């Protein structure tokens, strides 16, 4: 028997704190769907000609948030081909960004507890957060501050702490198809 035709996928947008798996899951979704993978932080670095830590140091957080908003606007007015979009952890701070994200496609919050996040990011030497005296405390504070924004923006929340990558991607893809068919 022939497989039924599946509806095309919408843009799939991954949000969450650093270390939650946005890039890993995004690249796996790309492999499974062949949709283009886009990382908003990489786009910002390319457009600004400097790294995100350099942008923060030179121009401040407000300028960086302006660049995030600009990238979302570009995506909204750009290609109509669906893609997988990985975002920076603070992209939901601005109300305008939350609105743009929801208009842009199917938003998935990859939620993970602070201890798991800390274990994941402590393996990466390029995380400025690790330079803080209490990185776990900083993560907990960021989670508390951003939790309502993630909840408001996400169409789907997945706790990634105890799921295999294939379970996560399967859940996202099936939910995205249902979202698209509404």
| All structural domains of the chain | 12-181 (3.40.50.300)
In degrees, rounded to 5, the angle at the alpha carbon of residue 69 between the alpha carbons of residues 66 and 72 is: 155
Question: Helix, strand, or coil here: 15?
Answer: strand
**What's the confidence (pLDDT) of residue 129?**
62
**Alpha carbons 173 and 168: distance in angstroms, whole number:** 9
The DSSP letter of residue 168 is H
**Per-residue tens of pLDDT for the chain, all 182 residues:** 444 555 678 999 999 998 899 999 999 999 999 999 999 999 999 999 999 888 988 998 899 999 999 999 999 887 778 999 999 999 999 999 999 999 999 999 999 999 999 888 877 656 666 677 888 898 999 999 999 999 999 999 999 988 999 999 999 999 999 998 87
Backbone angles phi, psi at 40, to 5 degrees: -60, -35
Contact partners, residue 83, CB within 8 Å, separation at least 6:
11, 12, 35, 36, 37, 38
pTM of the model: 0.92
Whole-Å CA distances, 141 to 34, 100, 136, 162: 36, 25, 9, 22
Backbone angles phi, psi at 93, to 5 degrees: -60, -45
């Amino acid at each position: 028997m022939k497989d039924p035709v599946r509806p095309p996928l919408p843009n799939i947008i991954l949000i969450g704190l650093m270390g939650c798996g946005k890039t890993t899951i995004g690249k796996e979704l790309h492999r499974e769907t062949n949709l283009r993978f886009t990382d908003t932080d990489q786009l910002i670095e390319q457009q600004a000609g400097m790294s995100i830590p350099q942008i923060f140091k030179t121009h401040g957080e407000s300028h960086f948030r302006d660049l995030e908003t600009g990238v979302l606007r570009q995506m909204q007015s750009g290609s109509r081909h669906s893609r997988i979009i990985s975002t920076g952890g603070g992209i939901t701070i601005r109300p305008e960004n939350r609105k743009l994200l929801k208009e842009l496609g199917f938003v998935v919050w990859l939620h993970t507890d602070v201890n798991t996040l800390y274990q994941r990011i402590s393996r990466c030497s390029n995380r400025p957060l690790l330079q803080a005296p209490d990185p776990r405390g900083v993560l907990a504070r960021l989670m508390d501050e951003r939790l309502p924004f993630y909840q408001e923006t996400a169409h789907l929340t997945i706790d990634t702490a105890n799921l295999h990558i294939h379970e996560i991607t399967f859940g996202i893809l099936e939910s995205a198809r249902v979202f698209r068919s509404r």
